[in-house]
Amino acid sequence: MIKRTPSMFVPNTMDKFFDKFFNEGLENGANTFNPRTDIAETERSFEIEVAVPGFNKKDFNIDLNDGLLTISGERKFEKEKSEKNFYSIQTEYGSFKKSFQLPDNIVSDKIEASYENGILSLVIPKDETKKLVSKITVK
């Protein structure tokens, strides 16, 4: 018997295939990666945290266009360190792009972004005057 090691490019289940297709896209190759993202909601805001260690603040682009929040960035691998011979590199390098459709009840000009300890954090405040909850009565 030979142990089969599935390729990272060929998913071994249909769920992983669709997950890879819809979440990572078709263009995901050697120079792109998909950082892990946590999304939470509080009473007053939405919070997004993206795990991107080794970046600098200037490496990020954050855009909001018609309710679509897009976070992108790039980290380049510097191979010029002659004193090191790398046998394995597991740190992800390249570019990433993540988009989120925001609800209508946000305050777009008050969005705050910060980067600390490898985590890019965004706080998206809610507009307290706009409630997205409605009650529907049965007739």
Q: Are 111 and 91 in contact (CB under 8 A)?
A: no
What pLDDT, on the 0 to 100 scale, is given for residue 129? 79
Q: What is the pLDDT of residue 86?
A: 66
Tell how many helices (H) and how many strands (E) occur in the chain.
1, 7
Q: pLDDT at position 94, please?
A: 82
Which DSSP letter does residue 124 get? E
Report yes or no on whether pTM surpasses 0.75.
no
Return the amino acid letter for 28: N
Tens of pLDDT, residue by residue, the chain (139 residues) = 343 445 555 555 666 655 555 555 444 455 778 899 999 999 999 999 999 988 999 999 999 999 999 999 988 766 655 667 766 666 667 899 999 999 888 999 999 999 999 999 999 999 887 766 667 889 8
pLDDT of residue 19: 57
CA neighbor of 92 nearest in space, from 31, 24, 1 = 31
Q: How far is CA 117 from CA 46, 54, 55, in A?
A: 20, 9, 10
Helix or strand run (H / E) with residue 51: strand 45-51
For residues 27 and 17, what is the distance between their CA atoms, to the nearest angstrom? 14
pLDDT for res 111: 95
pLDDT at 79: 60
